[in-house]
Amino acid sequence: MSEFALGHKAREAGYRLRGYDSIGSTNSEALASASAGDPGGIWFAARQQTEGRGRRGRQWESPHGNLAATLLIVPEADPTLAATLGFVAGVSLSTALSAILPGGLVKIGIDGADGLGGNSRIALKWPNDVLADGAKLAGILLEASKLPDGRHAIAIGFGVNAVAAPQGLPYPATSLVELGVSRTAEDVFEALSDAWVDVFGVWNDGRGIGDVLKQWRASAAGIGAPVAVNQNGEVLRGIFETIDDAGRLIVRADDNRRIAITAGDVHFGATASARS
């Protein structure tokens, strides 16, 4: 069995790595390390998570062979700007997966034919998913804890379906294997660790967030399409206009109001258009 390894850019940038065959949660391990005094700049990568979680405490299924990875950082940026690291993570992960997936950067028309004006095979779904051919391939989870010196430790978690996608979900999901790509969790991690170095450099303690958001929008799924946002049981329907400079989802509602969304479950296409 191969071992996890940092990419050359990540090694040169001074990142460290702890690799595991199986772990409860890479995010939990990262935050525990921060509480124990780790200064950050360390990755935790595993082939299996037994206690993984997603947004809002939902269980994140990660069978053996998939990638679970978390980067622990202690940024100097204001906590408000630190929250935008989710977009850094999204661009980094989509970049890594596009490099791995054949035709990852080829434009695919709505009918599946190659052509300008369509969508890339890899797309970003607000706020924290990465799609391949319209199905969820990966997810991101940010968690934070306040340190004794007042700074915040940020655990940036990545989950990638390398060998298997979860079953019984209310949305389509896929894996690299289902997409015909034979790449291991170790392969994905190495590409991700290097992509992170590049995009994190652009972010530059929050000063370059505008450039990161520009890259994120360029890969965004669903811009200009119907969208439904479920916020604690209340559903807002409209057209997904853009992501604003604060990273909020901007929806043109059915009554023509322009509404900024900071959190919610997002659905596109037929699901968004359906009335219940």
Count of beta carbons in the 10 Å neighbourhood of residue 132: 25
Beta bridge partners of 243: 249
Distance in angstroms (rounded) separating the CA atoms of residues 120 and 215: 13
- Residue 273 pLDDT: 44
Count of beta carbons in the 10 Å neighbourhood of residue 107: 14
Question: Which token pair is 246?
Answer: 């604060």
Distance in angstroms (rounded) separating the CA atoms of residues 101 and 185: 14
Q: For tokens 């095979």, what's the residue?
A: 121
Distance in angstroms (rounded) separating the CA atoms of residues 186 and 98: 16
- Residue 83 pLDDT: 85
- Residue 269 pLDDT: 61
Residue 270 predicted with pLDDT over 90: no
| Span 82-118, pLDDT tens digits | 889 999 999 999 999 998 887 665 433 333 333 333 4
Please give the single-letter amino acid code of residue 251: V
Q: What is the rounded average pLDDT of the residues 257-271?
A: 82
Residue 138 predicted with pLDDT over 50: yes
Domains belonging to the chain, first-starting first, are 8-218 (3.30.930.10), 226-273 (2.30.30.100)
Question: Which token pair is 158?
Answer: 């990545």
